[in-house]
């Protein structure tokens, strides 16, 4: 142990933001602890397959291979050089007064921090479609993870539904890998997509890459689709019933559906660590408040898609900035951040373009039939959520305690946004007036035995 | 044993074969498969919903949705998308009979 105690900085998440934050701290002579749920660092976007897989980064990450290689090798070097402590396959399940409760195979351990950088990323922003509780319905992210980390398609005949960059990307990746993609149904119309054009010009190379991938999908891509029902039998999905932009009813048979409308920030730990939230009208979700550098107060810093949905490139920048803010608050001088702040501005314009071009389908959520399942965990229906308003009023946590929506094992990650839209529509108010579910520890299911012997 | 399941292998098929037991029946998988991949290589679901009649086969594959918890013959449940299959693993699609 060194004579002078240096501040203990803990980073949660080893994706692009977490890795850049860690490297920035190491450069300043600190030794951070990086806690991550993955077995190997990289996050979801640059996720690495388990040992024994042989595809190259070029095959796995395409145009982003150089970035993936750089991040992986940077992090591996820091681990090998013992410049940081990597807690892999570990979940932070609670954060309270400077202490994290970290669950790994050996049980739950408490790790204290002086400063906390949360780089928890995002998951798919999904919307309930009647029938989506059946086996064979996955998120778009799941379809991509299956392909990247396992080399498999999650079905023999695939329909992708939703909107956003991942819809086109996953479709093109599956087609390239040899999967049978029957249809890609984009709920955003061409007109709507054009409204985001100005923002998308902030990154012309990325935007044109998207158009090339869209072209690869050819005739199976449909803009302006409306989703009606996911049909299933006892063993899972058998078809998607939908209407095309001209209003004609269509039925596409399939055994797998991938769905997603861009991203939903993963914010449970920020909530438990005491961050405050604001409803973002454009992203139609609650995001934790932080300054441009990621400062959220109380010694907590936020970086990456968990605070601003800018994607992987934005996450790398945000990771560096959050670490720089942390260092500066500790009185340690850092390199100039002006170039990073400028880049971030450009990425923000692009992200706003995406949000405009590929919106979350609020009208679809608001019009869900009463029998449609909104919460996949416990099969809570739209009807029971609407009923709960009469008994408990228009507030997210009241609706939660009466209807149980958001109380299941995913803790509202996949149902909150739809539930809030339903309540807002029924009550005639704005989603932000409905509020959001309070985060509750543990943020991952934890067996009682995991706490035995915790000291 | 090569019964067609939900998933289709598109790459990385040169890995060593491993065997596990599902409801006491031996199944094959490849080293490096997650439990989810291994089970769906020859089957169509991981479990039944406790709150509905439908089968479930996972949803997010990144440890967030908790749809893919499966039973083991002994010991605790495991999350199929984040656990790698191991030789001789004994899994079940239904809770054990002594489960309350």
Helix A416-427 to helix A382-392 angle (10° resolution) is 60
Domain count, chain A: 3
A132 and A236 share one domain: yes
pLDDT higher than threshold 50 for residue A3: no
**What average pLDDT score do residues A372-400 get?**
92
B69 has pLDDT over 70:
yes
**Predicted confidence (pLDDT) per residue in B79-91, tens digit:** 999 999 999 999 9
CA B42 to chain A, closest CA, distance in angstroms equals 12
Q: What digits encode the pLDDT tens for the residues A350-375?
A: 999 999 999 999 999 999 999 999 99
CA distance A129 to chain B (A): 14
Of B11, B51, B56, the CB nearest to A135: B56
pLDDT tens digit string along A13-31? 999 999 999 999 999 999 9
Separation CA A210–CA A189 (nearest Å): 16
Asked whether residue A235 is domain-assigned, the answer is yes
Instruction: Supply the pLDDT for residue A453.
Output: 56
CA atoms within 13 A on the CB side of B65: 28
Size of interface A-B (CB pairs under 8 A): 143
In angstroms, the separation between the Cα of residue A297 and the nearest Cα of chain B is 26
The percentage of chain A sitting over the pLDDT mark of 90, rounded to a whole number, equals 87
Residues of A in contact with B60 (CB under 8 A): 123-124, 138-139, 141-142, 414
Within a domain: A452: no
Residues of chain B with C-beta less than 8 angstroms from the C-beta of A373: 52
Helix count and strand count (H, E) for chain B: 1, 8
Across the interface, of B11, B45, B62, the residue whose CB is closest to A123 is B62
Domain's final residue, options A319, A353, A387: A353
β-strand partners of A72? none
Measured between beta carbons, which residues in chain A are less than 8 angstroms from residue B58? 138, 142
Task: From B55, B50, B15, select the one nearest B34 (Cα to Cα).
Answer: B15
Q: Which of A50, A179, A234 sits opposite B32 (nearest CB)?
A: A50
Residues 102-131 of A with CB under 8 A from B: 123-124
- Residue B10 domain flag: no
Kindly give, in sequence order, each residue whose CB lies less than 8 Å from that of residue B79, ignoring residues fewer than 6 positions away.
Answer: B63, B66, B68, B69
User: Residues A325, A168: contact at Cβ < 8 Å?
Assistant: no
**Residue A53 — pLDDT band, cuts 50, 70, 90?**
very high
**The pLDDT of residue A452:** 63
Residue with tokens 């706003």: A352
Helix (H) or strand (E) holding B15: none
Establish if A449 belongs to a structural domain. no
Residue A140, classed as helix, strand or coil, is helix
Task: Tell me whether strands B25-30 and B17-22 are parallel, antiparallel or unpaired.
Answer: antiparallel
Structural domain count, chain B: 1
**Out of A231-235, A289-293, A450-454, which region has the weakest mean confidence (pLDDT)?**
A450-454
B54 touches chain A (CB under 8 A): yes
Instruction: Report pLDDT digits (tens) over A56-84.
Output: 999 999 999 999 999 999 999 999 999 99
Q: Contact at 8 Å (CB) between A260 and A167?
A: yes
Instruction: Check whether residue A131 and residue A253 sit in a common domain.
Output: yes
How far apart CA B19 and CA B30 sit, in angstroms, is: 8
CB-CB under 8 Å, A444 with B49? no
Calpha distance A264→A418 (Å, rounded): 12
Confidence check: pLDDT of A199 > 50: yes
Residue A224 binned pLDDT confidence (cut-offs 50, 70, 90):
very high
For the record, the structure tokens of B1 come out as 């044993």
Burial of residue A419, with CB atoms counted within 10 A of its CB: 0-12 exposed, 13-18 middle, 19 or more buried = buried
Considering Cα of A102, then A106, then A107, then A113, what sign does the dihedral take? Answer: negative
Q: Reduced to 3 states, what is the DSSP secondary structure of residue A434?
A: helix
Residues A268 and A119 in one domain: yes
Residue A37: its chain B contacts at CB < 8 A?
A: 63, 82
Q: How confident is the model at residue A334 (pLDDT cuts 50, 70, 90)?
A: confident
Are A243 and A177 in a shared domain? yes
Strand B8-9 relative to strand A152-153: parallel, antiparallel, unpaired?
A: antiparallel
pLDDT-derived band at A455 (thresholds 50, 70, 90) equals: very low
| In chain A, residues 411-430 whose CB comes closer than 8 Å to chain B | 413-414
A112-133 average pLDDT score: 98
Q: Do B51 and A378 touch (CB under 8 A)?
A: yes
Check if B57 contacts A (Cβ < 8 Å).
yes
What is the C-alpha to C-alpha distance for residues B56 and B67, in angstroms, rounded to an integer? 7
Phi and psi at residue A124, to the nearest 5°: -65, 140
Whether the per-residue pLDDT at A191 is higher than 70: the answer is: yes
* A313 and A407 both lie in a single domain: no
B74 CB neighbours in chain A (<8 A) are none
Question: From start to end of A25-169, where are the E strands?
Answer: 33-35, 85-87, 91-96, 99-104, 107-112, 115-118, 122-124, 137-139, 152-153, 158-163
Which position has the higher pLDDT, A5 or A223? A223
Q: Which of A267-271, A393-397, B13-17, B62-66 has the lowest mean pLDDT?
A: A393-397
For position B2, what pLDDT does the model report? 44
State the pairing for strand pair A33-35/A226-233: unpaired
Position A371 scores a pLDDT of 97
CATH of the domain at B88: 3.10.20.740
Percent of chain A having pLDDT more than 70? 98
Q: Which residue of B lies nearest to A443 if distances are taken between CA atoms?
A: B64
Helix (H) or strand (E) holding A58: helix A57-61
* Co-location of A313 and A220 in the same domain: no
Residue A319 lies in a domain: yes
Whether residues A252 and A196 fall in one domain:
yes
> Could you list the residue range(s) of the whole structural domain that residue A369 is in?
363-434
pLDDT, tens only, A294-331: 999 999 999 999 999 999 999 999 999 999 999 999 99
The answer to whether A151 contacts chain B (CB < 8 Å) is: yes
Listed in sequence order, the residues at least 6 apart from B27 whose beta carbon sits closer than 8 Å to its beta carbon are B1, B19, B20, B21, B38, B39, B41, B42
Check whether residue A257 and residue A383 sit in a common domain: no
pTM, to two decimals:
0.95
What tokens appear for B87 in the block?
A: 């030789």
Confidence of residue B1 (pLDDT cuts 50, 70, 90): very low
Residue A453 placed within a domain: no
The mean pLDDT value of chain A amounts to 94
CA distance B49 to chain A (A): 8
């Amino acid at each position: 142990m060194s004579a002078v105690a240096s501040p203990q900085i803990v980073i949660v998440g080893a994706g692009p933001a977490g890795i850049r934050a860690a490297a920035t701290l190491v450069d300043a002579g600190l030794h951070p602890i990086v806690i991550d749920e993955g077995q190997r660092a990289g996050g979801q976007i640059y996720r690495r397959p388990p040992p024994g897989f042989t595809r190259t980064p070029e095959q796995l990450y395409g145009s982003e291979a150089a970035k993936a290689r750089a991040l992986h090798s940077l992090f591996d070097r820091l681990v090998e050089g013992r410049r940081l402590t990597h807690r892999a396959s570990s979940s932070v399940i609670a954060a309270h007064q400077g202490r994290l409760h970290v669950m790994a195979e050996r049980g739950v351990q408490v790790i204290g921090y002086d400063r906390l950088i949360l780089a928890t990323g995002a998951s798919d922003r999904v919307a309930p479609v009647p029938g989506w509780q059946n086996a064979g319905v996955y998120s778009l992210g799941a379809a991509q993870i299956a392909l990247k980390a396992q080399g498999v398609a999650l079905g023999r005949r695939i329909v992708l539904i939703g909107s956003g960059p991942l819809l086109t990307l996953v479709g093109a990746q599956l087609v390239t890998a040899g999967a049978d993609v029957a249809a890609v149904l984009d709920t955003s119309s061409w007109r709507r997509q054009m409204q985001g054009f100005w923002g998308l010009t902030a990154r012309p190379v990325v935007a044109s890459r998207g158009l090339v991938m869209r072209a690869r999908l050819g005739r199976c891509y449909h803009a302006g689709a409306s989703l009606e029902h996911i049909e299933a039998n006892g063993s899972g999905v058998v078809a998607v019933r939908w209407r095309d932009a001209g209003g004609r009813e269509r039925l596409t048979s399939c055994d797998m559906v991938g769905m997603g409308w861009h991203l939903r920030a993963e914010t449970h730990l920020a909530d438990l660590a005491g961050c405050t939230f604001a409803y973002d009208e454009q992203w139609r979700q609650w995001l934790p408040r932080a300054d441009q550098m990621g400062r959220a107060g109380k010694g907590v810093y936020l970086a990456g898609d968990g605070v601003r949905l800018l994607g992987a490139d934005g996450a790398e920048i945000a990771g560096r900035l959050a670490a720089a803010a942390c260092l500066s608050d500790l009185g340690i001088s850092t390199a100039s951040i002006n170039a990073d702040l400028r880049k971030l501005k450009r990425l923000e314009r692009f992200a706003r373009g995406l949000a405009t071009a590929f919106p979350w389908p609020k009208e679809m959520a608001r019009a869900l039939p009463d029998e449609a399942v909104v919460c996949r965990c416990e099969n809570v229906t739209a009807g029971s959520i609407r009923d709960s308003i009469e008994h408990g009023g228009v507030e997210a946590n009241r609706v939660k305690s009466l209807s149980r929506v958001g109380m299941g094992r995913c803790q509202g990650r996949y149902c909150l946004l739809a539930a809030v839209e339903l309540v807002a529509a029924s009550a005639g108010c704005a989603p932000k007036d409905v509020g959001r579910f309070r985060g509750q520890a543990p943020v991952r299911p934890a067996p009682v035995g995991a706490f035995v012997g915790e000291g | 044993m090569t019964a067609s399941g939900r998933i289709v292998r598109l790459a990385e098929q040169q890995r060593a074969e491993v065997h596990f037991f599902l409801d006491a029946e031996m199944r094959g998988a490849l080293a490096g498969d997650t439990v989810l991949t291994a089970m769906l290589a020859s089957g169509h679901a991981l479990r039944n919903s406790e709150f509905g009649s439908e089968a479930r086969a996972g949803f997010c594959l990144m440890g967030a949705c908790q749809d893919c918890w499966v039973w083991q013959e002994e010991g605790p449940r495991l999350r199929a998308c984040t656990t790698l299959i191991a030789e001789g693993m004994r899994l079940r699609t239904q809770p054990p009979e002594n489960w309350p």
